[in-house]
Structure 1
Amino acid sequence: MIPASALAAARAHFAAKLAHETDVSDVHAALESGAPGFVLIDTRSAEAWEQGHARGAVHLPKPDMAARIPADYPAGTRFVVYCWGPGCNGATRAGLIITELGYEVREMIGGFEYWAREGFPVDRVERDAAGASTTVDATLPVDPLTAPVPVAGVRIACDC
């Protein structure tokens, strides 16, 4: 039998994770609703942003957050942050910066890697010879190793 104190510690651990993390599927669904209730922030470099980013995200690298967030977002704004993927703690660092500024934030687990691998909308920036930029669709096909394969054209949800 597991001691009650161990069960309480486990409950607290999982409740804290759910309070401070979200996943790409939930973020995508919220953005699709038209009223997500948060600002999705890509915390990566300009080069990474231009190569591809979640559609609907705002580019805000960590070094710029302390100045830009209080200037651009009113108190009470909620944020979801992401970086490259599960092997990167850039979003965790961004979450710390944003909470230190006094804002609510959640980390999108899986980051851009799983956003793209699950086939959610991706944009990238192309530049012409003069340096002018254009945003283009760069959405990838669903990776069957990370997202269930659609049956009869209907995307299967993991129902988590």
Structure 2
Amino acid sequence: MSGTTTRVNPVLRAAPATPAEAARHFRASLAFHADVSDVAAALAAGGDPGFAVLDSRSTASWDQGHIPGAVHLPTALIPEQAEQLLDRAVPVVTYCWGPGCNGATRAALALAELGYQVKEMLGGFEYWAREGFPYETWQGPGHRTADPLTAPVEADNCGC
């Protein structure tokens, strides 16, 4: 016995999907998700963006910073208050803190179960702020310089 072991490529341990399967998956993913850049561009274009933005975090989190124009509705209150704050005919984009939090997913599920069309904003408030988009706090408007590791420094968009 030679003692050699065959090394398994961790990326290809599970074979990639067929192109048709991949196309179905990624098309479906786009039906469920939006990213912060697309949401920001739609809101900045002026007029009705065709969707409502919902911040599903606590009041303390909302006060620290939120997307201008967002509806504040913590996930636990969605079953009781969604009808008073949201129009069922208007799609809703949910967000929470960021990629390490599934609060926006839970909020999207709660809304879908109530009959709303819904998407989750990938990156959450963390990436909204990191990409340099304006936000509001209990003290007033805020804005940070874009993090060059998350957003282009010299361009309006990433080109993706």
Shift of 1:70: 1.9
1:96-107 equivalences in 2 (<5 Å): 96-107=109-120
> Where does residue 158 of structure 1 map in the other structure?
158
- C-alpha contact 1:119 1:143 (8 A) present in aligned 2: yes
Taking the aligned partners of 1:31 and 1:10, their CA distance within structure 2 comes to: 30
Shift of 1:6: 2.8
Shift of 1:141: 1.3
- C-alpha contact 2:88 2:117 (8 A) present in aligned 1: no
Answer with 87-96 or 63-72: which moved more: 63-72
Residues 64-118 of structure 1 show CA distances to partners (whole Å, capped at 9, x for unaligned) of 1112112333331210000111111111111100100001001110100000001
> Where does residue 142 of structure 2 map in the other structure?
138
> Where does residue 50 of structure 2 map in the other structure?
37
Name the structure with the higher strand share. Answer: 1
> Where does residue 4 of structure 2 map in the other structure?
none
Residues 7-62 of structure 1 show CA distances to partners (whole Å, capped at 9, x for unaligned) of 33211110110011011111011111221111101111111000111112111100
Matching residue within 148, 153, 160 for 2:152: 148
RMSD: 1.6
Runs of 4+ in structure 1 over 3 Å off: none
Tell me whether 1:8 sits opposite 2:20 in the alignment: yes
Taking the aligned partners of 1:75 and 1:108, their CA distance within structure 2 comes to: 18
- C-alpha contact 1:85 1:109 (8 A) present in aligned 2: yes
Shift of 1:156: 3.8
Larger Rg computed on CA atoms: 2
Taking the aligned partners of 2:131 and 2:18, their CA distance within structure 1 comes to: 35
**Identical columns (%):** 52
- C-alpha contact 2:57 2:74 (8 A) present in aligned 1: yes
In structure 2, give the amino acid aligned to 1:157.
Answer: N
Segments of structure 2 that go 5 or more residues without pairing to the other structure are 1-14
Taking the aligned partners of 2:39 and 2:86, their CA distance within structure 1 comes to: 20
Tell me whether 1:63 sits opposite 2:63 in the alignment: no
Q: TM-score, normalised by structure 1?
A: 0.84
